[in-house]
Amino acid sequence: MGVLSALVDQLNPVTQRLAQQSTPVLVFGGIFAFCVITTVLNIIQQLLFVDSNKPPVVFHIFPFFGSTINYGIDPYKFFFACQEKYGDTFTFILLGRKMTVYLGPKGNDFIFNGKLSQVCAEEAYTHLTTPVFGTDVVYDCPNHKLMDQKRFMKFGLTSETFRAYVPLIIEEVETYLKNSPLFSARKGPVDLLAVIPELTIFTASRTLQGKEIRKGFTGEVAGLYHDLDAGFTPMNFMFPWFPFPQNKRRDAAQRKMAQTYMDIITKRRAAAARGKQPEEKDMIWNLMNQKYKDGTVVPDKEIAHMMIALLMAGQHTSMATMTWILLHLASRPDVVQDLYEEQLRIFGKDLEPLTYESLGELTLHNYVIKETLRIHPPLHSIMRKVKSPMRVPNTHWVIPDNHYLMAAPGVSAIDGKYFKNPTAYDPYRWAGEKVTIEEEEEKFDFGYGLVSKGTSSPYLPFGAGRHRCIGEQFANVQLGTLLAMFVRLLKMNLPDGQKEPAPPDYASLIAMPQRPATMIYEWRKPEKK
């Protein structure tokens, strides 16, 4: 016994050392074995246990990650490949979430016009949007409250306000282009991704957001906006709370930005109490004068958060669209020439100033905006959380309530079933081709005015149903004025040897062109610069 215990005593340090050394090996070995087993089970499950009562699942090797990479690299390529294999309805795994996609006009209708008891946008988006916009607005409140908030916002987007906005946008563009060192030569290359984000934010802030916020964009507000914007990343669908440095900066910027709006509101209320009339009736002014349906006055904090929501919702979408417009025009000098001639016809050879009314007469300009939104709708995927099981019409499939729904109206917008030569950039198509367009669609009031239900349109860049965009008219005024000003002032081309605009980059939530998005500008009248 004595020998044995002496031997055990001697061996003890050796076994302990071995156990210490092998702990990481055991842990990694265990994790590896777990991954292999779950991967194998995932594959077996897909091959042998197909649930015929649910839409087909896109085949994937790894559980949790599923089709995340294929979808993330190029959502359209992924959608079209799946459509060919599985049809219009299929489910794929996106970072552990079961996303059921339903393509085509019927799918758009199914998702956009799903009943409130069945689909919910709040649960699909709130993780991403609430830390940026703030609480109690948009997706951080019940749907009926959002409908009320959209009603308030629409009151601030009338023909009267747009009429006042056009000269303000013109002034911003002229000042910017004439003073920017980026346009100082008679002719030269310019990176549109350095120019258009600034121009869109300056024009949106000068109009919708009001004078004070526009002034702020030459100082502190620009930095706050930048930090808020950095919080808008796909990663935050999963980890909005994670203390990444950019999330900490986002939260600080949200508080400061909201305070900036609240200070403006306080000053304006004090001025009104002294009997001072507002200088301009912008969106802040409009929201300060609204009441919820139950009679409650809109709290200042909610006004501030709605203003942030409007800033963010409009900035990315308009900026992406304007960049694509200019890149496509740079690839089509023939279209630029036709646009210039359209302006000469309407405004005379001295090109009278643009007005809100005259924007409506610029038919080809409007076709250019429409065609750009057909090929590059900024939002490629629109999501809802399923709240109660939904049967897919004319099938035996039922989508369970642990799934998310995904609509992709950009797919039908480039489908040969609805548009001839669908991937060609051809603004003139809108003059001839017969397309079911929204104006002919059934309309419904969800609480913020009549909107199209979009039940059979293959072209829905602004969505449809209760969550339809309220910013379409503003976007058209902003984009139309910017476009007309660029055409008036500049000729545009792509760099030598480049025939097509840069391809899309889907790394962010909005489909932007890949860098560098270079355009060659040439002043039409350099002496007037």
Chain positions contacting ligand HEM, by CB under 6 A: 121, 146, 150, 208, 310, 313-314, 317-318, 321, 373, 377-379, 382, 461-463, 467, 469-471, 474-475
CB of 96 to ligand HEM, least distance (A): 21
Q: Which residues, including other chains, have CB under 8 Å from residue 192's CB and lie 6 or more apart? A: 323, 326, 327, 513, 517, 518, 519
3-state helix, strand, coil in the chain (%, to 5): 55, 10, 35
CB of 466 to ligand HEM, least distance (A): 7
If the CB atoms of residues 83 and 203 are measured against ligand HEM, the closer one turns out to be: 203
For the residues of 31-93, what is the DSSP string, one character each? Answer: HHHHHHHHHHHHHHHHHH---TTSPPBPP-SSTTTBTHHHHHH-HHHHHHHHHHHH-SEEEEE
Burial (CB count <10 Å: 0-12, 13-18, 19+), residue 174: middle
**Residue found under tokens 């002919």:** 440
CB of 495 to ligand HEM, least distance (A): 26
Q: Which residues, including other chains, have CB under 8 Å from residue 342's CB and lie 6 or more apart? A: 362, 363, 364, 365
CB of 379 to ligand HEM, least distance (A): 5
Nearest to 340 by CA among 373, 362, 371, 370: 362
CB of 132 to ligand HEM, least distance (A): 13
If the CB atoms of residues 268 and 384 are measured against ligand HEM, the closer one turns out to be: 384
Tokens linked to 330: 């740079």
3-state secondary structure (DSSP) of residue 504 = strand
Virtual torsion, Cα 411, 416, 422, 427, nearest 10 deg:
-100
CB of 457 to ligand HEM, least distance (A): 13
If the CB atoms of residues 197 and 314 are measured against ligand HEM, the closer one turns out to be: 314
If the CB atoms of residues 240 and 465 are measured against ligand HEM, the closer one turns out to be: 465
- Torsion sign over Cα 74, 75, 76, 79: positive
If the CB atoms of residues 57 and 153 are measured against ligand HEM, the closer one turns out to be: 153
If the CB atoms of residues 170 and 406 are measured against ligand HEM, the closer one turns out to be: 406
Other CB atoms within 10 A of residue 401 CB? 12
Nearest to 190 by CA among 520, 492, 435: 520
CB of 285 to ligand HEM, least distance (A): 15
If the CB atoms of residues 379 and 490 are measured against ligand HEM, the closer one turns out to be: 379
* Cα 121 from Cα 499, distance rounded (Å): 40
If the CB atoms of residues 56 and 471 are measured against ligand HEM, the closer one turns out to be: 471
The DSSP 8-state label assigned to residue 414 in this structure reads T
Count, residues in the chain: 529
CB of 413 to ligand HEM, least distance (A): 11
If the CB atoms of residues 130 and 321 are measured against ligand HEM, the closer one turns out to be: 321
Which residue in the shown chain puts its C-beta closest to ligand HEM?
471
CB of 248 to ligand HEM, least distance (A): 27
3-state secondary structure (DSSP) of residue 114 = coil
CB of 463 to ligand HEM, least distance (A): 3
If the CB atoms of residues 94 and 469 are measured against ligand HEM, the closer one turns out to be: 469
Other CB atoms within 10 A of residue 83 CB? 18
CB of 212 to ligand HEM, least distance (A): 18
If the CB atoms of residues 379 and 519 are measured against ligand HEM, the closer one turns out to be: 379
For the residues of 294-346, what is the DSSP string, one character each? Answer: TSPBPPHHHHHHHHHHHHHHHHHHHHHHHHHHHHHHHH-HHHHHHHHHHHHHH
